[in-house]
Amino acid sequence: MLAPLRIAVLASGRGSNFAALLAARDRDELPVEFVLVASDKADAGALQLAQMAGIPTAVMDPRDYAERRDYDFALFDRIAATKPDLLVLAGFMRIIDGDALKPWVGRMINIHPSLLPKYRGLHTHRRALKAGDAEHGASVHYVTAELDGGPVIAQTVLPIQAGDNENALAERLLPLEHQLLCAVVALIAAGRLSFGASDISLDGEPLRKPLRWLDGTLIR
């Protein structure tokens, strides 16, 4: 039996993705241990959720550092001290220095609200609507130095409805984001998913295209 996966979480906002992971753990659906929730915002909701759950937290203010690079290295030193197996970016709204994250490649994932490689960066719902897309979605990917450019593990797709606006689209997508992230973390916790020098492997076989979240399960 595998030991619980040790997870550190980085979040800047309300923490809904972290809350979904925490709820899945409490339902015994995720064999994980949260070793740290860290944020660049002292008022981040994710910190409050972690504190209520008895999970260690850390607040590191970028304004305390002369350079972005200095902040990123200090942040990752703080994370490394907790010895996580996996680092989850759950709404962490900062671009991370490539050298600082290099040791974490293959051990860090991010949830992004678009069907990557479409719409890297911000305002993804607005951009999908403006482009007249028929569908939108979310992606979980391994983090590399390229912004939202790391290998995509899995995606969930949502049809765009007539009359959708930015807020409505975001609200409908969010529950699917939560399900997708929990499903991917479950694969990693089970030892089924890994990222080597250039390829993602699932059950020892190369993953040629992102998994798709469909009817409550991940399919090839």
3-state secondary structure 74-118: HHHHHHHCCCCCEEEECCCCCCCCHHHHHHHCCCEEEEECCCCCC
> What pLDDT was estimated at residue 199?
87
> What pLDDT was estimated at residue 196?
81
Segment 22-47 shows an average pLDDT of 97
The helix (H) or strand (E) run that includes residue 212 is strand 211-214
> What pLDDT was estimated at residue 219?
96
> What pLDDT was estimated at residue 2?
80
CA distance 148 to 163: 28
Q: Are the C-beta atoms of residues 127 and 113 closer than 8 Å to each other?
A: no
Report pLDDT digits (tens) over 162-180.
999 999 999 999 999 999 9
3-state SS, residue 213: strand
Segment 32-45 shows an average pLDDT of 98
Q: Are the C-beta atoms of residues 142 and 108 closer than 8 Å to each other?
A: yes
- Residue 155 carries which side chain, given as an amino acid letter? Q
Burial of residue 174, with CB atoms counted within 10 A of its CB: 0-12 exposed, 13-18 middle, 19 or more buried: middle
* Token pair in block for residue 46: 């994710």
CA distance 22 to 92: 17
Report pLDDT digits (tens) over 79-135.
999 999 999 999 999 999 999 999 999 999 999 999 999 999 999 999 999 999 999
- Residue 18 carries which side chain, given as an amino acid letter? F
Segment 2-27 shows an average pLDDT of 96
Name the pTM for this structure. 0.96
Residue numbers annotated as active site: 112
CATH number of 5-219: 3.40.50.170
Q: What are phi and psi of 108, to 5 degrees?
A: -135, 130
Segment 54-65 shows an average pLDDT of 97
Q: Taking 90 as the threshold, does the pLDDT of residue 42 lie above it?
A: yes
